[in-house]
Every structure is written in C-alpha cells, then in structure tokens.
Amino acid sequence: MAFLPSWVYVLVGCFSASSVGASDLSDMEPTLWKESPGQFSDYRVENGKYLIDPWNYTKRMGMYKILLNQTARYFEKFAPENEQNILWGLPLQYGWQYRTGRLADPTGRTDCGSASGDPLCVSVDSWWADLNYFLSSLPFLAAVDSGIMGISSDQVMLLPPPKDQMRFCYDVSSCRSSFHETMNKWNAFYQYLQTPSSNFDDLLKYLWIAHTSTLEDTFKSFEDRCGYYSKPEERFERNWVVAVEYLAALSFPTTLIRSYKFQKGLPPRVLLKTDVVPFISDFTAFQNIVLFALNVLNKLDKLIG
C-alpha cells in the first residue's frame, strides 16, 4: 500500500455522490435495528453477569445498539440524531452481511441462517460472521473496559459458538489477554472520544487504527473458512480485506449517511461460481464496477506491495 492510485479517490467519491433515496435517517438503520436489544437489561443475567449470545443476529446487533447509544453524547457536537457517530459503519456492515445471506452456514451442513431454517442464527462457519465477531465484541468490550458503558468490566460475558470455541474470546479479561495491542487501540479511541476537544478527523484516525488492527489479528485464523465459498465470493473476501486497508488509509468517514450510501455499491447476495465480474446481470452497474475495481485494486496492491 505504498501509494493510493488517484482512481481510488474517484471511487470513494462515487460512493459518496451516489444518491441516497431515503430521506429519513431511521430508514438507513441496519436491518432489524428496532427489534434488537438496546440496553443491558434486555439481556439475561446470571451470577451478576449479562449474558450475550453473539451467534444470534439481533443479540449481536444489540451490542452495537448499546454502543451507539452510549457514545451518542460524544458526537452531539458534530450533528443531531447521532448521525455523525462514526461507529455506525460497523452495525451497517453487519446488517449488510445478514441481508445478503453472508452470516448463514456456507457449508450447507446446518440450516443456521437460512430463511427456511433458523434465520437469526449466525453461523460459526461463516467467514463474514467470524471476522465480524471481533469487529463487534472487541469494540464493545473495550468500551465496557473504558468505563463509558455504565457497567464494570466483569459484568458482561459473551456465549460461545457451537464449535471452535478456542478461536474466540468472551469477556474483557480474556479478550485483553488474547488481543492486548488491539484492545489498547480500541481503548485509545474511547479515551480520545472522551476528550472534550476531540475532533472528527482524529476520531476517524483512532477508529481506523483499531479497526485494521482487529482485522490483522484475526484474518489469518479464519482463512480455512474461505474454502467454503465459490471462487468469486472467496476472491471478493480477499479483496475486501485489502479494500478495508485503503478505506482506512483514506480515513473514510463511517457516519450513518456515508456508510449507507457506500453499501449501495456492495454485492446484494453471496457470489456464485457462475458470476462473472463485471457482468452480473442482477447487480447494478455500480455494484459491478465496484467488484471490478476491487479486483484491480488487489492486483495493484500485490504488485506494489
């Protein structure tokens, strides 16, 4: 990632310029946002701990909802209605993964996440769900650890998936010990957030540093999942990880409106082996162009290292 080709800026410009269509902010909220838990008391309590099942779509979404709620006060100075909260990008991406079938079991061995089976089930075999696990649990637990969530660090615990339990961490102390540096980066973001003089651009920098660090820590552990997908989807997954580095380098502002518009360019379903980029007939021209551009970006990235 030695330099950013100028067309990357043009592409990001496209994302921002594409028309919104929705005028109401609540239309841009992630899928099933209203149905998701919005406070700790919506979760089960056992031995003085809130138990959250992140393998249930709305329950994992609830972690984001509490996070957005508890951080809203720090973004009031930028715009009303929490629109400028840059944490919106995370739940919006998670909602897109759900809507497009990416949280379902890609092996087809279970009906986890399938419309006819258990639609709210989040599959531990889904590559998207596994990486999102860390992009939801680490920012959430670091926020608890930073003291901005109104509960203490030992008061919350996440429930394990049905298998591969050793690959995950479940509470503030175990996530801190497995992902020390990354948790520190999330903590640094929340520390800066609480600074009265915090500015928007620096907030974005802190956020993207923590985000990319989370992916770097976890991406390799789930490479085995890529094999469950069609070649085009697998390629998209690998391209996506590279694309996120570029979004980070550009400090893409992950506010509600900007994230919502950005998603118009993302594939609306899991890619099939018969899909040929950029000629996928049920995708918009914009979605085809984005997939094509991501292929080029990845090739270029490999070339320039």
Ligand X SMILES: *[C@@H]1O[C@H](CO)[C@@H](O)[C@H](O)[C@H]1NC(C)=O
Stretch of 54-62, 146-154, 240-248, 274-282 lying at the interface with ligand X (CB under 6 A)? 54-62
Please give the residues from 150 up to 209 whose contact with ligand X meets the rule CB under 6 A: none
Nearer Cβ to ligand X (61/247)? 61
User: Is 38 an interacting residue with respect to ligand X (CB under 6 A)?
Assistant: yes
Site track 62-81 with ligand X (rule: CB under 6 A), x = hit: -------x--x---------
In whole angstroms, how close is the CB of 127 to ligand X at the nearest point? 19
Please give the residues from 262 up to 301 whose contact with ligand X meets the rule CB under 6 A: none
User: Is 87 an interacting residue with respect to ligand X (CB under 6 A)?
Assistant: no
Nearer Cβ to ligand X (114/221)? 114
Nearer Cβ to ligand X (113/267)? 113
- C-beta separation of 203 from 86 below 8 A: yes
Of the residues 1, 9, 27, 39, which one makes contact with ligand X according to CB under 6 A: 39
User: Is 121 an interacting residue with respect to ligand X (CB under 6 A)?
Assistant: yes
Of the residues 118, 164, 202, 234, which one makes contact with ligand X according to CB under 6 A: 118
Burial category of 189 from C-beta neighbours within 10 Å (exposed 0-12, middle 13-18, buried 19 and up): buried
Nearer Cβ to ligand X (39/177)? 39
Residues that bind ligand X (CB under 6 A): 38-39, 56, 58-59, 69, 72, 82, 118, 120-121
